[in-house]
Structure 1
Amino acid sequence: MSVLNIILLVLMAISAFLTIVLVLMHSGKGTGVSDLIASSMYNATAGSGVWEKNLDRLTIITAVTFGVCVLIMALTFPTGTIGM
């Protein structure tokens, strides 16, 4: 396995973990993990819209990073380079 593949595997694992955590932090419609976390992090009157926007951006960034890592790994996995 090449250095590129090792870097991509580490980046993919980190982005997968962060994506899961960030998705769980989104406020939901009902009760659950997200409401327990959200209630301690901000009040309804304290500008929760900004918090949600930033959380959305971070979630999109980590999900795109994960997707790009998967695509690059699909192209380069056996040899660490594109092609043969």
Structure 2
Amino acid sequence: MAALQIALHVLLAITSLLLTLMILLHKGRGGGLSDMFGGGVSSTMASSGVAERNLNRITIILGIVWVVVIITLGLFNRFNLVG
């Protein structure tokens, strides 16, 4: 059980970092952080929105994984399955 908990903590750290990165990469509405990292260039090159839709999908999937890991770790703590 301890190995599963360690794996969940590692997955939580990875998904947290990736989720933060994906959120910062979204197209800004008023020239925020996304313009600082080249968001203005990508919006002029690909105005079709395919990249933005893919970025939305990846962000949603990462968010769902993040929530599931948080709930699973909470259940481990609630039912004293902590090793």
User: Which bin holds the TM-score, normalised by the shorter protein?
Assistant: 0.7 to 0.9
CA distance in 1, matches of 2:75, 2:23: 28
AA of the residue aligned to 2:40: S
Instruction: Please name the residue that 1:4 is paired with.
Output: 4
Corresponding residue pairs, total = 80
Deviations 1:40-83 (A, max 9, x none): 4x2424345001001001100111111000011011134259xx
C-alpha RMSD over aligned residues: 2.0
CA distance in 2, matches of 1:48, 1:22: 19
In the alignment, structure 1 segments of 5+ residues that lack a partner are none
Q: Secondary structure at the match of 1:44?
A: helix
CA distance in 2, matches of 1:65, 1:26: 19
Instruction: Please name the residue that 1:16 is paired with.
Output: 16
1:36 aligns with 2:30: no
CA distance in 2, matches of 1:36, 1:50: 21
CA distance in 2, matches of 1:56, 1:23: 9
In the alignment, structure 2 segments of 5+ residues that lack a partner are none
AA of the residue aligned to 1:64: I
Instruction: Please name the residue that 1:75 is paired with.
Output: 75
Q: TM-score, normalised to structure 2's length?
A: 0.82
Q: 4+ residue stretches of structure 1 with deviation over 4 A?
A: none
Deviations 1:18-52 (A, max 9, x none): 11110011011111210132134x24243450010
CA distance in 2, matches of 1:48, 1:20: 24
